[in-house]
A and B are shown apart, each in its own frame.
Chain A
Amino acid sequence: MANTDFSRTMGSGHHQHGFDRSRAWFERMHIDLILFLLILLLAGCGLLILYSGSGQDMTMVKRQALHFLIGFIVLIVVAQFPPRFYQTVAPWAFAIGVIALIGVLVMGVGAKGAQRWLELPGLPRFQPSELVKLALPLTVAWYMSTRPVPPRFFDLIKAMIIIGLPTILILKQPDLGTSILISASGILVLFFAGMSWALILSMIGIVAACAPLMWFFVMREYQKQRVLTFLNPESDPLGSGWNIIQSKTAIGSGGIDGKGFLQGTQSQLEFLPESHTDFIIAVLAEELGLIGVLALLILYFLIIMRCLYLSSRCETLFGRLLSGSLAVTFFIYVFVNIGMVSGILPVVGVPLPLVSYGGTSVVSLLTAFGLIMSMYTHRQN
């Protein structure tokens, strides 16, 4: 286990700092200390922002802290299993996820005009799409790692079918945001596997051409409304435009250095809707200003870069493909959420990773980080 890591050899060659020693120890425990600390730092910031965004609701902060605790335990556990294990379970997890998605469409529980939850006797209520979020990149990475690289056209077609099946099922719920994110995680695997640029560009072309068709045949009324509101929020300032006007007001009024922690009038006086979930970045922007936002963006950037670095250092192709895809998917969450709250993307229900309140999201994100660590730290001799 000690013979491959280039950076470690570099480090050990000169001085054995305390930090390097603990890093090595953590690596033996299948944890990348740098990534772990960065995530821990983000979680801490997230809890602080949540304290303000929830209207100083300590109960909510404690519950979120519990989510983190569970999430970190899951992360550590997940990191202990070798990539081979995940390669084996990937298709099964995928099959269960797809069956569960079909189950949702047949007997799901609705909320706000969409069916996303599945309730089975003896099991806690859960969202199969959360399972598929991980199962899909796992499966595609597994499939592509068994194929020659760069992938052949027919392998790509088969992979597209694997991606398309859950995407369409989630689209039917309907949940446009999640289906786009899930299909993106699959396509990213293909991208990392070396899909040719010609194909990538023609796919982008097809998606662009499909957008008008989506508008007329796929999108529901409320989704169209969101897009229209995005294009002109002032058209319905008290209805669906309210959220985005209030969030832009919160962000803009924060200025460079913000109004001060817990001093944001938009968030503390409840003008800002969903201030503890999807719109929580506006709380940060209002209270800590541009400085706070840039600090958070840098933190996200470091996490993503660390993940990409780790993925490039994975021993197996499966590990590289999976880690790369998960890292970039994480970025997409960040971008879509902040883009939406700041008004450059339409409103889709995507939480800000590890900052927005929500147990499912925290646990599944930390599971993904656990997978990345597993892919990096397990070495075959």
Chain B
Amino acid sequence: MWEHSFRDKSAERRLFRSRALTLAIFIFLMLCILAWRMAYLQINLYEKYKDLSENNRIQLRPIAPNRGLIYDRNGILLAENIPSYSLTLVPERVRDMEQTIAFLDQLIGISERDREQFEKRQGFRRRPFEPVVLRHQLSEDDIAKVMVNRFYLPGVDVEAQLVRHYPQGETFAHVLGYVGRINQQEQATLDTDPETKRRYSATQFIGKLGVERRYEQDLHGEVGYQKVETNARGRVIQIIERQDPVPGQDISLHLDSRLQKLAEKEMKGMRGALVAIEVATGGIISLYSNPSFDPNLFVTGISHKDYSSLRDNPDLPLFDRAIRGQYPPASTLKPFVGLAALNSGITSWNESIDDPGWYQLENDERLYRDWKRSGHGKVNLQRAIVESCDTYFYDVAVRAGIDNISPFLAQFGFGRNMTLDISNALPGLLPDRDWKRAKRKSFWYAGDTVNLGIGQGFMLVTPMQLATATAVLANRGQWQVPRLILAHNDIADEIPHGDIADIQLKNPQDWEQMYHAMEQVISGSRGTARRLLSKLRYPIAGKTGTAQVVGIKQDEEYDSESLRERWRDHALFIAFAPVEKPEIAIAVVIENGESAGRTAGPIAQSIINEYLGGAEG
């Protein structure tokens, strides 16, 4: 080590000391920078970071209210809430989404569809760290499997929630409608009003159709809140403050489960609808459309397969025929046309006409045929109703004129939705001169009136409207606006009447006369519904109708055998009972049912017997 001998030890030391001092000063300055930085964060930015840390920790979580229950008139539960367990993921907490889902698939099975839905849900309406549902309706087994493996599944949780359930299934599907998950469009609508946005801040389901939609406001309830302290994984450590949600109101409907089930049973295998109304109150005691569907499928999201099988079913199970099916009223319109003719003064119960089997307008060669080719001979109004004579009504309709008939029919609610609480019911079509000019760009011809006389041509009615008109008829023109709602937590007594005037006939005796004629439809030896007589337990007044599905040319024979089933006539039947003091009014439409006396009539009769017979039936 020769260098040692040349070294100036004290110079070395001095050099080192100066370097060390330089670094000591440098280190001091650098530590001051750190101290300044910390002081800046902890003093200058204290408020900001204090809020941030509070926001991290404290969350205001809305709590969804329990949806109100729905009962029928006898207190039977139609819609309830049952607990359901869902598998949820907080995407921010899941380290490897693909791997996690694959593992869950291995554990409890995650379908392709679940995955699709999950992707979709992740896309919209999400607060950060809000759990997203991956699978609904976990079994006890599934829950156990997930819980055991929870350590390997960060961000995965099982959540219990109440889900709507319809214990009666298909029986009430159309009338009750169903709830479903709030979709993007509905969310956007809810968000436009801060008040509804607040009310729905925790809500996942909303009434989509039917009663569920109409009474959404009442069923929904008031949102609650809780202020919680959570850890970084979103787990609640403690509840700081809580305001309980107010459950939605329970509602009772006029609907009668017995009748509804009977309607379902009687209409098995048919396409059609049935509407029954309590005459005294306007309460809708049965509203059924067949075929129906299981509303429970829709609640947590219907699968593509289930939905397309419903949508593509040629019998259209999703179509609510009772309020949206529009049919020509056919001969069921005759009692109303008859009253219109009487009230306009152009005829009386005593006047008869001669029916050769056809009717002809003046200066027109066209023959309007009666269903009975040989004609009914001498007919008055009573016989024309009982035997459903077309020629008679061709004649009185033309003589009374469209300007008398159309406004008179309007008084029975034709051409508009007169229900109190069925907002999506269709209005049908009550034609008049103005309508034809506006919509068809054409004059009203006398031939149009001829067709209207027997309920054919332009006019369309829904089963709901037929039942309503029948109830008004049975109630001597007194309106009780048809309604589903029976009672309600708040508004049990104040149910509005609707803006329609009661019907005043010039001769009130005409009501009784018409009832008598309609009773003869069943009990008379030539009545079109005389088949019902064998099972008659209560005096029923009714009227049959047969609506053409395809136009039949003037001289063509109607041959049902040769027509495909779908081209057969629709069978219609309206009735009320008991005749002296009507309690129930009913309308039944069976598509392609052909003969009202054979199909629609017996169904109406069994509903009436059940309703009036009660326990003994």
Contact = CB atoms under 8 A, between A and B. Distances in A.
A177 to B, nearest CB: 18
Contacts of A149: 7, 11-12, 15
A266 interface: yes
A320 interface: yes
Given A324-B16, A344-B33, A344-B37, 18 more contacts: A148-B3, A149-B7, A192-B19, A249-B53, A250-B49, A252-B42, A255-B42, A256-B43, A266-B53, A270-B231, A293-B42, A300-B31, A301-B27, A304-B27, A324-B19, A338-B38, A339-B37, A343-B37
B233 interface: yes
B484 to A, nearest CB: 48
Contacts of B50: 252-253, 255
Contact of B24 (A293, A297, A305, A343): A305
Contacts of B123: none
Given A149-B15, A270-B232, A342 B20 contact: no
Interface string B1-35: 10100110001110111011001100110110111
27 contacts: A191-B23, A192-B19, A252-B48, A255-B43, A265-B57, A266-B53, A266-B56, A269-B56, A269-B57, A269-B231, A269-B232, A270-B233, A271-B56, A285-B38, A290-B38, A290-B43, A293-B35, A308-B20, A312-B17, A312-B20, A324-B20, A331-B27, A335-B30, A335-B34, A338-B34, A342-B38, A342-B41
B93 to A, nearest CB: 10
A317 B14 CA distance: 12
A335 B19 contact: no
Given A149-B15, A342-B38, A311 B20 contact: yes
Query: Considering the complex of A and B, which 8 residue pairs feature the smallest CB-CB distances, nearest first?
Result: A252-B49, A253-B53, A269-B231, A270-B232, A271-B232, A252-B41, A290-B42, A253-B49
Which of A148, A252, A254, A343 has the most chain B CB atoms inside 10 A of its CB? A252
Contacts of B92: 238
B41 A289 contact: no
Given A249-B56, A269-B231, A308 B237 contact: no
Nearest to A269: B231
B38 A335 contact: no
A214 interface: no
A265 B49 CA distance: 12
B24 A294 contact: no
A232 interface: no
A339 B34 contact: yes
A335 B31 contact: yes
B269 interface: no
Contacts, number: 140
A301 B16 contact: no
A248 interface: yes
- Interface size class on chain A is 35 or more
A308 B16 CA distance: 10
Which of B7, B31, B42: most chain A Cβ within 10 A?
B42
A252 B53 CA distance: 9
A159 to B, nearest CB: 15
Contact of A328 (B11, B23, B33): B23
Contacts of B107: none
A275 to B, nearest CB: 10
Interface in A256-305: 256, 265-266, 269-271, 285-286, 289-290, 293-294, 297, 300-301, 304-305
Nearest to B37: A342
Given A148-B7, A271-B56, A338-B34, A251 B41 contact: yes
Nearest to A252: B49
Contacts of A304: 27
B46 interface: yes
Contacts of B24: 305, 308
A8 interface: no
A312 B15 contact: no
Instruction: From B7, B17, B232, name the one whose CB has the most chain A CB atoms within 10 angstroms.
Output: B232
Contacts of B7: 148-149
